[in-house]
Chain A
Amino acid sequence: MARAAVLGRLTWQVGTVAVVREETATARTIVLDVPGWSGHTAGQHVDVRLTAQDGYSTQRSYSIASAPAPGRLELTVQRLEDGEVSPYLTDVLKPGFPLELRGPIGGWFAWDPAAAGPVLLVAGGSGVVPLMSMIRARAAAGSHAPFRLVYSVRSPDTALYPAELAQRGHAGEGVEVSWVYTRSAPAGARVRVGRLNPVVLAAPGWTPEAAPAVFICGPTGFVEAAASLLVRAGHDPGVIKTERFGPSGGQA
């Protein structure tokens, strides 16, 4: 197992917001210029620190959405209704604002483009963010590793990156994208509304025999359900890596 460990000391750095991009009604991508940032491994996250005028300070972790690149990174942040940090990042932060961060963090839930084997990505809601970094890293590196993303969302309007996923999911690109809609499907689409199920996960070429590396990210309930389905289908628990988005674990 390749281990992309964090090396050396992680110091706080100050990035500057270059661009913000609204992704959905409640999620936004923040593009940061971070001088001295040396890139990351797809799947890793950063710690973000906010400090108030009175000295009160708090931190949260956010997955990196972009492909690895020096000096620049993108975070996609989902606003939590009762959140302390995410509403600041989605509603207050503007281009030109400073943002303190340190990273990249996490050597386990990470995909290295040097790995040629098939990769099965399973996302629930905003859990798609670190998986999107893997899809983008694959393209940026010119990798031909077969990829499949199974992406579960409540409804089409809550989906992150739908246009880009449609483009990257074109036949011949090597990335299959399958959508699961748990509450409502796009108008006119011939898809059944419902939760992630064994049939969706067991597409041709993506059975346990193909031994894909599996990355699952989403709320706890979703991750538990997806991991259980895959283990029951015969995938080796040892190749299934999970990352849970918190703090609370509703079903995506």
Chain B
Amino acid sequence: MGIVSPGFKGRGGAGREKLPPGQYLVTDFPVLSAGPTPRVDTGSWELRIRTETGEVHSWDWAAFRALPSEEITVDLHCVTKWSKLHTPWRGVSLDTLLAEAETSAEYALARSYGGYTTNLPLQDLLDGQAWVAYEFDGEPLESEHGGPARLLVPHLYLWKSAKWVQGIDLLDNDEPGFWESLGYHNYGDPWREQRYWGD
């Protein structure tokens, strides 16, 4: 706990107890990104998973949308402090996308249209913990929120849920992504408040 701020009471109210440390609740859906929003046409869209041996699995938009999908309702926690609870998505589980990949890799690097990257342990993508999502609240995912499809890894800070995802590389060695190279925590667990290097 920090020093007491004289005269500060806080807003209190519902939701306060359910949030990770340092987070506050929002009901809108803020947008954070480092550059212009890429406009990705589903006609040329492709998702590529590449294993450490160079084996590639890829889907165009039609093939991707033909995969079994799931409806999920999850809480989002952004490192810039806002949290949004009970958000409804539809997407394809990474368990489905990785089912055919033969790999002993321990790490993954997600790559996005526009050049963004983010890294995470491969096990954080498995066992019902991660999706490539293409609908939010019953509507096609808007480009400013990462459409046509984004990674969704809700148990980590939201910068790990790469917008405009284009591919996932499976790697033997961990490779820091964009924000992870710029001072943000390599893993990013909101409940342990892993915002920055050394947290």
* A contact set with B: CB distance below 8 Å: 3, 5-10, 12, 14, 47, 49-61, 84, 88, 92, 97-100, 105-109, 220, 224, 227-228, 230-231, 237-238, 240-242, 244, 246-249
A227-B23 Cα distance, complex, nearest whole Å = 29
- Asked if A220 and B30 make an inter-chain contact with CB atoms under 8 angstroms apart, the answer reads yes
Closest to A235 in B: B36
- Asked if A247 and B30 make an inter-chain contact with CB atoms under 8 angstroms apart, the answer reads yes
A84-B197 Cα distance, complex, nearest whole Å = 27
Using an 8 Å CB-CB cutoff, how does the interface string of B10-47 with A read, 1 for contact, 0 for none? Answer: 11100010000111101010111111111000000000
CB distance from A232 to the nearest CB of B (A): 10
- Asked if A247 and B28 make an inter-chain contact with CB atoms under 8 angstroms apart, the answer reads yes
Looking at B6, B23, B114, which has the most chain A CB atoms within 10 Å of its CB? Answer: B6
- Asked if A3 and B4 make an inter-chain contact with CB atoms under 8 angstroms apart, the answer reads no
- Asked if A108 and B182 make an inter-chain contact with CB atoms under 8 angstroms apart, the answer reads yes
- Asked if B81 and A49 make an inter-chain contact with CB atoms under 8 angstroms apart, the answer reads no
CB distance from B117 to the nearest CB of A (A): 13
Closest to B8 in A: A50
| 13 A-B pairs whose Cβ atoms sit less than 8 Å apart in the complex | A9-B199, A50-B10, A53-B9, A56-B10, A56-B12, A57-B1, A57-B22, A105-B183, A231-B36, A246-B32, A248-B28, A249-B28, A249-B31
Total CB contacts across the A-B interface at under 8 A: 142
Given contacts A5-B182, A88-B5, A107-B182, contact A240 B26 (CB under 8 A): no
B5: which A residues are within 8 A, CB to CB? 50-52, 88, 97-100
Closest to A82 in B: B11
- Asked if A52 and B9 make an inter-chain contact with CB atoms under 8 angstroms apart, the answer reads yes
- Asked if B30 and A249 make an inter-chain contact with CB atoms under 8 angstroms apart, the answer reads yes
- Asked if A56 and B16 make an inter-chain contact with CB atoms under 8 angstroms apart, the answer reads yes
Closest to B196 in A: A10
Q: A56-B16, A100-B5, A228-B36 are in contact. List 11 more A-B contacts (CB 8 A).
A: A3-B181, A5-B182, A47-B81, A51-B8, A58-B24, A61-B81, A84-B10, A98-B3, A224-B31, A247-B30, A249-B28
Which residue in A51, A105, A227, A241 is a CB contact (below 8 Å) of B1? A51
Given contacts A59-B81, A237-B114, contact A3 B182 (CB under 8 A): yes
Closest to A83 in B: B11
Closest to A3 in B: B182
- Asked if A242 and B8 make an inter-chain contact with CB atoms under 8 angstroms apart, the answer reads no
Q: Indicate if B2 sits at the interface (CB-CB under 8 A).
A: yes
CB distance from A165 to the nearest CB of B (A): 26
- Asked if B35 and A244 make an inter-chain contact with CB atoms under 8 angstroms apart, the answer reads no
CB distance from A95 to the nearest CB of B (A): 12
CB distance from A94 to the nearest CB of B (A): 9
Looking at B23, B28, B31, B144, which has the most chain A CB atoms within 10 Å of its CB? Answer: B31
B31: which A residues are within 8 A, CB to CB? 220, 224, 244, 246, 249
B33: which A residues are within 8 A, CB to CB? 242, 244
Given contacts A6-B182, A56-B16, A240-B35, contact A51 B197 (CB under 8 A): no
